[in-house]
Amino acid sequence: MLNLKERLAAGECVIGAGIYSNSPETIEWSARGMDWIWWECQHTHCNWETTLHGVRTAHLAGMPVLARTWSHDGGVIERLLDTGADGIIVPMVNTPDQAKAVAAHCYYPPAGVRSWGGNRPEILEPDAESWNRRTVVMAMVETPEGVRHAEAIARVAGIDALFVGMVDIALSLGLGRNFQAPELTAAVGQVLEACRRAGKPAAIVVEDAEDMDARIEQGFRMVMGLDVNLLRNDYLQLRRRFAERTSSRLRGRPATSSKREDAPGC
């Protein structure tokens, strides 16, 4: 069976579950069957122990897990990989030199400078070269500078994919959260074309099934839905349906003077 890195290199399209809740239970209960897990460390406040539990849970469920680091620091990247994570997601990669520096800390010598010594990696796979053939390194393109250098970043040895950070690109372009702006559409298209020329997959967050269809049609080969976004959308739909249902029942109910004002509507 091909690992995630090999599947990406073979041109497969894969779907992931983004765990912003930092809940191992979400992986265990709701994300089974996904191709990969995004474990969020940059914009959440999980500790190292919780991250370790998340990685273990993903592995028990049979899914590779990529951890998003909050830093380009080599020590942070290596420690995240020492949880047994199958790869790393690196934010704000703007130049090929930055991509080379972070990739070096993801691979053991001679491919890189990652230090051997983590207990979990050694238990899971005692051969360093096997880890090099398994570790996925994803660089996030999130600024106009990163967009300009996208192809050069994608061509760096050891970079497996580029992730388009639409929100930060939009903010950097002064567009706020106007995700329909032509300038943002052009920037996303530029990164997609850069990945196509470099032979690397492009990745993006999707909001729902329709958005996923559109992104795959656009050319993205890695798509990922965030647990908190999907849960929020489901609760929003449920709330709206509840409001419609209860308001229609109230409209059809005759008024009575004896009914308590605080009685429930259904």
Measured between alpha carbons, how far is 36 from 223 in angstroms, rounded to an integer?
Answer: 10
pLDDT over 60 (residue 259): no
pLDDT score for 43: 96
214, 216, 222, 225 alpha-carbon torsion, rounded to 10° = 30
pLDDT over 70 (residue 266): no
Tens-digit pLDDT profile for residues 96-120:
999 999 999 999 999 999 999 999 9
Measured between alpha carbons, how far is 38 from 32 in angstroms, rounded to an integer?
Answer: 13
Tens-digit pLDDT profile for residues 10-68:
999 999 999 999 999 999 999 999 999 999 999 999 999 999 999 999 999 999 999 99
- Tell how far CA 49 is from the center of its chain: 20
Distances (CA, A) of 61 to 25, 56, 120, 244, 248: 11, 9, 17, 39, 44
4-229 is classed in which CATH architecture?
Answer: Alpha-Beta Barrel (3.20)
How many residues are present in the chain?
266
| Residue 169, SS3 per DSSP | helix
Mean pLDDT of 135-149: 98
pLDDT over 50 (residue 265): no
- What pTM, to 2 d.p., does this model score? 0.90
